Chains A and B, each alone.
Chain A
Amino acid sequence: MNTPAPLVQVTNLKKHFPITRGIVIQRVIGAVRAVDGISFFINRGDTLGLVGESGCGKTTAGRTLLGLYPATDGIATIDGHNIIAAKGHDLMAIRRKAQMIFQDPYASLNPRWTINSIISEPLRVHKLLRTEKERTERVKELLDLVGLNARQINRFPHEFSGGQRQRIGVARALASDPVFIVCDEPISALDVSIQAQVVNLLEDLQDKFQLTYLFIAHDLSMVRHICDRVAVMYLGLIVELAERNELYETPLHPYTKALLSAVPIPDPKKDRNRHRTILTGDVPSPINPPSGCRFHPRCPIAKAHCSELIPEWREITPGHWVACHEV
């Protein structure tokens, strides 16, 4: 079997937000280095998990990769086209194939629009179906696909529960027949019993349409369940990336180890006998990240050189990458 090229290929992607001072004459006095050079690929039909704590840059990475934020530097190829350099018609063409599902199902749907207008928006923007009638038919088909009643097509978002709204968000993302979807914490605003519904729906749709997902989340249990490979981010950088069972069973980076040991496990007996690495302190500011390895001030195994040298991104075993001096 020959391996086809990955559907998504990200190389050294950077997104810095300038910090300015002054009202009329704005001077740039610094930058929030939200994403500071990340590289990864996702094979067609696979799910890559992007995990990390709040402020680590995972959401910014997802948005920059779709061109929602102009990138500071780097290349992001989706199905062979670099979205960072694309303009005009080319950009539109890539965007049709790459969609997003947002975290907050309350904020991401326009409350004044009917479900029909919301879901058919991508169809109108990309001029995919000419007539109103065709579009309505397609919306009904999409509602059916995500498990909502097609008769609810003229209702407004407030008439739906959180889980149903997230289904509407999924239907909108599917409208333009994408090949790649960035799922930005799609379930973290939902109750446990509803999370499973949405996750199962995402999996069914992936099977049906061979979709490729970037699944951004902080829930490490769900990430192990849904993702094929997992990347761990810390302060704008990916510190470890591996196949899911490899990462969860033999984590190499001390941050990954600490993160995994902090995940609550719904099993009292097992939980009592666990060894926990409890990190001290908080995540430092991405405006002025620590020198050398960015994790060194909180790292339980940091040595003197960790504060001076930036660790190299190395492949330790096939497919298992890590950035740490001490591995």
Chain B
Amino acid sequence: MGTLLDVNNLKTRFHTPEGTVYAVNGISFKIDEGETLALVGESGCGKSVSMLSILGLIVIPPGEIASGTAIYRGADLLKMEEIDLERIRGKEIAMIFQDSMTSLNPVLSIGRQITETLHTHMGMNHEQAVKRTIELLEWVGISDAHSRLGDYPHQYSGGMRQRVMIAMALACTPSILIADEPTTALDVTIQAQIVELVIRMREQMGMAMVWITHDLGVVAGLAERVNVMYAGFIVEEADVDTLYDDPRHPYTNSLLAALPRADRRRDHRLKSIPGAPPNLLVEPKGCPFAPRCEYARERCWDENPVLSVVGTKHRIACWVDIKTGDLR
């Protein structure tokens, strides 16, 4: 399948009164047509900022795209004029966010907010837009959609609002859907409903998806390929089975060992990763994970490893082979 989006050496910084925040430090990845890629990492690892940068949603200043390209259908999104980007954003690349309450306008009815998208991007008239909105809402599982069009966001529950967000994002049949922690604020039974809905939508529409999350559990059931991020770098990329069976980066390995399991009897203490993620106000030097890494060598402190191949479609950014403990 063809590559839809090709991101190369993306660097995003924020110039704040406290100093420069090195949020994304030269990441490269591709998204193929129809595939689901997960961007996994803890808070502040740059997973959201990288996608916001690509869509031109970073406020400049204080933000700055220091380098990089993001080629979508032959054009570089990072160099595009705002007016051209507006035609792609929301229509061809749509995004849903974690907090549906702040992403929806509280003083506009749900119906108005979706029809507006359809007017703007699809050039529909009022009647067509209303008809399509009802279809969309029913499609994402909102019963009695017709009579709920005039309701406001606060009259919907959290799960329902997230369904509305999905309906809105899918209104223009995008080729890429970016989902930024869409289930993090939801309860586990509602999360299961939303994940099931998204999988069904993906099967019916065949769109590609980028799922941004910190939850390695959700990723396992959803993604085909996973990029693990740490301190603004991609540290490991692999297909989903490989990543869970054979994690090769010390960070991924420790993260999986730090997770308790609901499906197994407890057999050991959780493995904890000492320390905390690095301060992003300091320009990165060496491997960002070195201070917390049990395998760290002298070289790790001085030189930051680049992503290199360790298996089929499996790359890590690490100097050490964790199986032997020796340098690779």
Contact = CB atoms under 8 A, between A and B. Distances in A.
B91 to A, nearest CB: 31
B260 A222 contact: yes
Interface residues of B, number: 44
Given A191-B43, A191-B214, A272-B221, A260 B269 contact: no
25 contacts: A53-B188, A53-B190, A164-B276, A191-B277, A193-B292, A194-B273, A194-B276, A196-B272, A196-B273, A203-B269, A220-B188, A221-B217, A258-B189, A262-B188, A264-B191, A264-B218, A265-B261, A266-B217, A266-B244, A267-B263, A268-B221, A271-B220, A278-B189, A278-B192, A282-B157
7 tightest Cβ-Cβ pairs between the two chains A and B: A264-B217, A225-B260, A262-B192, A196-B272, A53-B187, A191-B42, A196-B270
A24 interface: no
A156 interface: no
A287 B258 CA distance: 39
A53 B272 contact: no
Nearest to A194: B276
Nearest to B191: A262
Interface of B: 42-43, 157, 159-160, 187-193, 196, 214-221, 240-241, 244, 254-256, 258-263, 265-266, 269-274, 276-277, 292
A200 B193 CA distance: 32
Nearest to A163: B276
Nearest to B260: A225
B325 to A, nearest CB: 21
A263 to B, nearest CB: 4
Contacts of A261: 192
Q: Chain A: interface residue count, which band?
A: 35 or more
A259 B190 CA distance: 10
Contacts of B220: 264-268, 271
B41 to A, nearest CB: 9
A220 B262 contact: yes
Residue in B190, B256, B292 whose Cβ sees the most chain A Cβ within 10 Å: B190
Residue in B192, B196, B218, B219 whose Cβ sees the most chain A Cβ within 10 Å: B192
Given A224-B262, A262-B188, A278-B193, A192 B214 contact: yes
Contacts of B216: 192, 266
B192 A193 contact: no
A282 B192 CA distance: 12
B217 to A, nearest CB: 3
Contacts of A264: 191, 215, 217-218, 220-221
A272 B42 CA distance: 25
A275 interface: no
B31 to A, nearest CB: 19
A192 B157 contact: no
Nearest to B265: A245
B189 A161 contact: no
B294 to A, nearest CB: 13
B262 A192 contact: no
The majority secondary structure among interface residues of chain A is helix
Given A263-B188, A278-B192, A192 B255 contact: yes
Nearest to A56: B187
Given A226-B260, A265-B261, 9 more contacts: A192-B258, A193-B254, A196-B270, A197-B274, A224-B266, A225-B260, A262-B191, A266-B219, A280-B193
A199 interface: yes
Contacts of B160: 282
B187 A54 contact: yes
Contacts of B190: 53, 282
Contacts of B262: 220-221, 224, 248, 260, 263, 265
Contacts of B265: 245
Contacts of B187: 53-54, 218, 283
Contacts of A53: 187-190
Contacts of B259: 192, 221, 266
Interface in A194-213: 194-197, 199-200, 203
A279 interface: yes
A276 B192 contact: yes
Contacts of A260: 262
Given A199-B270, A265-B217, A282-B190, A221 B276 contact: no
A267 B220 CA distance: 6
Contacts of A258: 189
A200 B270 contact: yes
Interface in A254-310: 258-272, 276, 278-280, 282-283
